[in-house]
Amino acid sequence: MVLLPYANSTAFEETWPTCYKIVLSILTLFWAVTTGLFIIRRKSQFMAGREVGWTLVQAAAGWLAVATSCLTKIYFSQPCFIQLWAYNLTGMVWCLAMLVRGIKFYFQVQLNHVRLFGTGSLEKIPTSLSEEPSSTSTRVRTASLRDKPTIMRGLYLPSSIPPSPVSNSSDYGVIDPSIASVSRMGRRFEGSYNFEARDTLRGMRSNWWWTNRERSTDRYLLFWFGVIMGVDVVGMVLVQIFTKTFQIWPTVAISPGCVSQWEYLPQFLGTFLYYTIACPIVLWRLRSVRDNYGVRNDLLISVLTTLPLFTMFLAWRYIPRTAYLSWHPHNWYILGLMVAHTISVLYPVIQSYRDERIRAKMVLLHNMTSFAQVLSDKAIWDQFKTYMAADFCVENALFFEAYQELLVIAAAAFARANIVIPGMPHHGSALATSTIRSGKIFNDLLRRRASMSGGGYPQICSLTRNRAPSTTPSSRLSSTNSSSSPQIETTAPASKPCTSHENEQVGGPLPVFVDMPVPESARALYKAFYENYLEPGAPYEVNLPSNIRDQVQHALSEDKITVGMYDAAKDEVVQIMFLNSFPTFLHAIRNQGQYTVDIAGSVDIKDIHEPDIGVDSGMEKGTAQVSMGSGEP
């Protein structure tokens, strides 16, 4: 059957085939290029939380809907049932794909916050517990779902923790009962160290999002996607049986007799339910959600822009035919699909390149002392964890935090047995500097950044939190021109040259400690750590190379449980946090004005032995102090 232009069309309508051929060609090229770039950039960090698979389904359905709309104007004479089925199926798939993206994104945000504010680490159960907050506590703002990820409010957490002991101390490796470890909720642990196994999921089992997290899996959503599409197909089959306008048998109805009547009821009903029930629920749920990648904004803008455009498409069909000769109703439909595709596919691609360019300019000078400041200061660490929750990788922070607890548990078990081992940490303050034993991972990152930037690193940046003055000996009071409020400027120790980075010790546990077999009283917790963080499908599963996971599994199967058996996994997690989350965290807190950034002179890469952390802010070389504002304490 040859499809011919509509013979009775007006002179203006005679130009539609040519116009829509051009439009379809341009939009097809636009869809192909943007979707191809989206696929290429799918592993970019900025694509986190965007559900690449469902976005591609939405993009494909959008192009098919656009092609259907254009082809009906290019060929006026075509079987009516093709239009009926094409419009209905493509429109329904597009709406469901958008809805699934919203559901999965909201579940992802909720589950990350459950992991963060629920029970995320192996906690100590002491013989006595004082409910009084630490004397060093200060009000630290931690994010809720209603806040931007870098705006902190709510919990009281300790502003600092005691410095890690030096390895040459005479009493190094002895648990000092006068040093009270502080929990993540601001309680001070006192008394003897009696560590017991605890169920890390206890605080989550009453959370609806956690107990129903399987509802966000692709398998579950694909099932309901198929059910809804099946119901839609059944409805279309019934329409096809009773219709006369779009009939297939005994004769095939040919356009232009395809007048939109009750036959489009399944499509109109699905669209009506999508925009009157599903979209308002999504808008209401996402109103208070914030993420670091703009996924929430993409979804909201897509809904808010397509709703009026699709409404115009439906309304435009019922105005007199002579009124829309210059602007066909389907143009609103095509415009809505194009806007949604631009927001869902093209915008993330552009932002991923922009994010990459910003990261390239933020040349980091990796200094373990500076990075450890974030990892070991309880207040900054809490902000970093909250930021990582909005980064959809909070499990890395919780893994690192739980690993510190695990080492202290092992040390306490040795201490109770009156066994003193060189390199054994004193207490919970041994967060970063006591467990990052090898500087090799930082030197590798340093060389990688050097090759990316094409040379040395011009500036060094250290973090200074803008808060009330403290009397700690390691801090000094300073003020800046941009703020009258006092600020604490923490000075990091100077770099020390060393000849070997492979076995570099940075004030951390010596191999004698980490290679010791775990005492029997702590072995259950080491196995629980694996079940919670490394086992496939674990509630806080971290993304690790298969060789590291296999190494741990082999050690467990051989019952060779040593104190440092998770060191390789920890190093990998530290690298991930350092490369992916830490640069954007620095950028975010500088923009928030919560910290003062101290920029020192240039450093040549050949002179770096203990890598430094820094941000290339675009300022000229030289010593300067840059205040980002007073911020909010």
Q: Pick the most confident of 108-117, 285-294, 485-494, 520-529.
A: 520-529
Q: What is the mean pLDDT of residues 51-62?
A: 94
Q: Does pLDDT of 104 surpass 70?
A: yes
Average pLDDT score, the chain: 67
Tell me what percent of the residues of the chain surpass a pLDDT of 90: 16
pTM (2 decimals)?
0.58
The pLDDT value given to residue 183:
28
The pLDDT value given to residue 181:
30
Same domain? For 321 and 390 the reply is: no
Q: Does pLDDT of 619 surpass 60?
A: no
Same domain? For 386 and 323 the reply is: no
Q: Among 630, 631, 591, 597, which residue's Cα sits nearest to residue 613?
A: 597
The pLDDT value given to residue 220:
95
Q: State the Cα–Cα distance between residues 294 and 344, nearest whole angstrom.
A: 10
Structure confidence by residue, pLDDT tens digits, 203-238: 566 778 888 888 989 999 999 999 999 999 999 999
Q: Among 204, 205, 197, which residue's Cα sits nearest to residue 122?
A: 197
Local confidence band at 538 (pLDDT 50, 70, 90 cut-offs): confident
- Tell the burial category of 173 from Cβ atoms under 10 Å away from its Cβ (0-12, 13-18, 19+): buried
Same domain? For 195 and 126 the reply is: yes
Local confidence band at 66 (pLDDT 50, 70, 90 cut-offs): very high
The pLDDT value given to residue 629:
33
Same domain? For 87 and 127 the reply is: no
The pLDDT value given to residue 361:
58
Structure confidence by residue, pLDDT tens digits, 583-618: 777 777 666 654 444 433 322 323 333 333 333 333
The pLDDT value given to residue 232:
92
The pLDDT value given to residue 383:
77
472 within a domain of the structure (yes/no): yes
Same domain? For 459 and 543 the reply is: yes
Contact between residue 597 and residue 615 where contact means Cβ atoms under 8 Å apart: yes
Give the chain's length. 633
Same domain? For 312 and 376 the reply is: no
The pLDDT value given to residue 81:
86
Q: State the Cα–Cα distance between residues 559 and 554, nearest whole angstrom.
A: 8
The pLDDT value given to residue 622:
32
Local confidence band at 57 (pLDDT 50, 70, 90 cut-offs): very high
Local confidence band at 440 (pLDDT 50, 70, 90 cut-offs): very low
Decide which of 296, 327, 359 is a domain's last residue.
359
Q: Does pLDDT of 344 surpass 80?
A: yes
The pLDDT value given to residue 434:
38
Contact between residue 246 and residue 86 where contact means Cβ atoms under 8 Å apart: no
Count of domains forming the chain: 2
Same domain? For 373 and 273 the reply is: no
506 within a domain of the structure (yes/no): yes
Q: Among 338, 12, 80, which residue's Cα sits nearest to residue 72?
A: 80
Q: Which of the 8 DSSP states describes residue 488?
A: E
Assigned token pair, 453: 């930037």
The pLDDT value given to residue 37:
95
The pLDDT value given to residue 321:
64
Q: Does pLDDT of 466 surpass 70?
A: no
Task: Among 64-68, 110-114, 295-299, name the one with the lowest average pLDDT.
Answer: 110-114
Same domain? For 351 and 390 the reply is: no
Pick the residue with more confidence: 479 or 304? 304
Helix residue ranges per DSSP H, 287-362:
295-316, 329-341, 347-361
Q: Does pLDDT of 24 surpass 90?
A: yes
Pick the residue with more confidence: 455 or 350? 350
Decide which of 307, 332, 359 is a domain's last residue.
359
251 within a domain of the structure (yes/no): no
**Unique residue bearing structure tokens 């870098």:** 150
Q: What is the mean pLDDT of residues 103-124?
A: 68
Pick the residue with more confidence: 494 or 44? 44
Structure confidence by residue, pLDDT tens digits, 293-332: 788 888 888 888 888 988 888 788 777 766 666 787 888 9
Number of C-beta neighbours around residue 489 at 10 A: 17
Q: Does pLDDT of 580 surpass 70?
A: yes
241 within a domain of the structure (yes/no): no
Q: What is the mean pLDDT of residues 551-564?
A: 89
Range of the domain at 619: 122-210+364-493+502-627
Structure confidence by residue, pLDDT tens digits, 243-289: 888 888 777 777 765 666 788 888 888 888 998 899 899 888 888 78
244 within a domain of the structure (yes/no): no
CB-based contacts of 302: which residues, under 8 Å, 6+ apart? 98, 339, 340, 343, 344
252 within a domain of the structure (yes/no): no
The pLDDT value given to residue 593:
53
Same domain? For 450 and 557 the reply is: yes
Contact between residue 461 and residue 599 where contact means Cβ atoms under 8 Å apart: yes
Decide which of 359, 394, 409 is a domain's last residue.
359
Same domain? For 416 and 399 the reply is: yes
Q: State the Cα–Cα distance between residues 87 and 263, nearest whole angstrom.
A: 11
Same domain? For 353 and 369 the reply is: no
Q: Does pLDDT of 96 surpass 80?
A: yes
Structure confidence by residue, pLDDT tens digits, 156-198: 222 222 233 233 333 323 333 322 232 232 222 332 233 333 3
Q: State the Cα–Cα distance between residues 182 and 133, nearest whole angstrom.
A: 9
Q: Does pLDDT of 118 surpass 50?
A: yes
- Cis before 509? omega within 30: no
Q: Does pLDDT of 571 surpass 80?
A: yes
Same domain? For 508 and 442 the reply is: yes
236 within a domain of the structure (yes/no): no
391 within a domain of the structure (yes/no): yes
Q: What is the mean pLDDT of residues 25-46?
A: 92
The pLDDT value given to residue 202:
57
